[in-house]
Structure 1
Amino acid sequence: MPRMVGRAKKIPVPEALRSFPLAPRHLSLLSCLLFDGPTTVNELAARLQVAPTTASLLVGDLHGMGILDRREDETDRRRRIVTVAADQEPAIRAWLAPGAAAWRKALDPLTPDQRRMFVDTLLAYEAAVGEARQDQGPAS
């Protein structure tokens, strides 16, 4: 796991995006939009497992940087649809797509049950790390 994280961190940010103050929290959101397509803030919040207000703040950050676009939902004008800005999509795709391709390559040979076990194992690991941090209490 540390090697995987280390390799992911070494993927260079494309030149077109280097001037933006992007944080890891932005990458998850961008990945969702890139691979799942345009969506609402509430749907992003559910996918990212964060509060809608948190997703809204992240979208606001990225929209302010010109990385995301927001438009009215034509079927419900109260909703806003969020998408990667067309002029930023090539750089974001070049940056994030290799990771998605690697996951597909790793997961394609597995049966659906094996994939489910793999995902469940990662979720269990994530939960255990969270519990261990809670048990340690606040950092001094």
Structure 2
Amino acid sequence: MSNDDRVRELLLVMPRMVGRIKKLPLPEQLQSLDLAPRHLSMLSLLLLDGPQTVSQLAEVLGVAPTTISLIVSDLSRRGVLARREDDDDRRRRIIDITPESREAISEWLAPGAEAWRRALAPLTSEEQRTFVDTLLRYEAAVADLRPTGPTGEK
């Protein structure tokens, strides 16, 4: 199988994957929140890794702390996230999912996490790392693309 054959396969599977992910039911408690991909990433991180500071979230998610602060403010007003003082440094705030929202968020994210676990299970640790690195390179390559005009110029 050639590289172009594999690219063709990926170009066919990616939209199907996204479509199936979008069809996963959102728990009733979260339906009115109008959650976007940026929310999904932050909520996944908080669910999997636990409470974090704005700076930690910004670093891992690769966005500015002000962007994280805006998302946190929005989700805090809606009762999804809570902020508390850091016991070690009272100037910093620790962000976490509220107890009232944790179960619904876990229910929402669990199918995707389980699908990744099943997909990665047959691979060795090294193969898993290669797969994740490949997805990260793909993401970076897509981010580098610029829209082209009708004649193909950039």
User: Taking structure 2 as the reference length, what is the TM-score of the superposition?
Assistant: 0.83
Which structure has the greater CA radius of gyration?
2
| 1:109 Cα deviation from its structure 2 partner | 2.4
Pick one of 18, 26, 42 that aligns with 1:29.
42
| 1:135 Cα deviation from its structure 2 partner | 5.2
Partner-residue secondary structure (3-state), 1:13: coil
Pick one of 120, 123, 148 that aligns with 1:136.
148
* Structure 1 counterpart of 2:31: 18
Pairing of 1:101-116 with structure 2 (within 5 A): 101-116=114-129
CA distance in 1: counterparts of 2:136 and 2:60, whole angstroms: 14
CA distance in 1: counterparts of 2:121 and 2:90, whole angstroms: 39
Specify the code of the residue in structure 1 equivalent to 2:31.
R
RCO comparison, higher one (Cα < 8 Å, 6+): 1
* Structure 1 counterpart of 2:74: 61
Q: Which ranges of 4 or more aligned residues in structure 1 deviate by more than 4 Å?
A: none
Q: 1:68 to 1:121 in 2, by over 3 A?
A: same
CA distance in 2: counterparts of 1:10 and 1:83, whole angstroms: 27
CA distance in 2: counterparts of 1:20 and 1:122, whole angstroms: 29
Partner-residue secondary structure (3-state), 2:84: strand
* Structure 2 counterpart of 1:70: 83
Q: Residue deviations 1:34-57, cap 9 Å, x none? A: 111111111111111111111111
Specify the code of the residue in structure 2 equivalent to 1:136.
T
* Structure 2 counterpart of 1:95: 108
The total of aligned residue pairs comes to 136
Q: Residue deviations 1:68-100, cap 9 Å, x none? A: 010011111111110000001111100111111
CA distance in 2: counterparts of 1:75 and 1:128, whole angstroms: 40
Q: Structure 2 unaligned runs (5+)?
A: 1-13, 150-154
Q: Residue deviations 1:109-140, cap 9 Å, x none? A: 222211111011101111221222x2537xxx
CA distance in 2: counterparts of 1:76 and 1:34, whole angstroms: 23
CA distance in 2: counterparts of 1:55 and 1:108, whole angstroms: 32
CA distance in 1: counterparts of 2:49 and 2:114, whole angstroms: 14
CA distance in 2: counterparts of 1:34 and 1:91, whole angstroms: 11
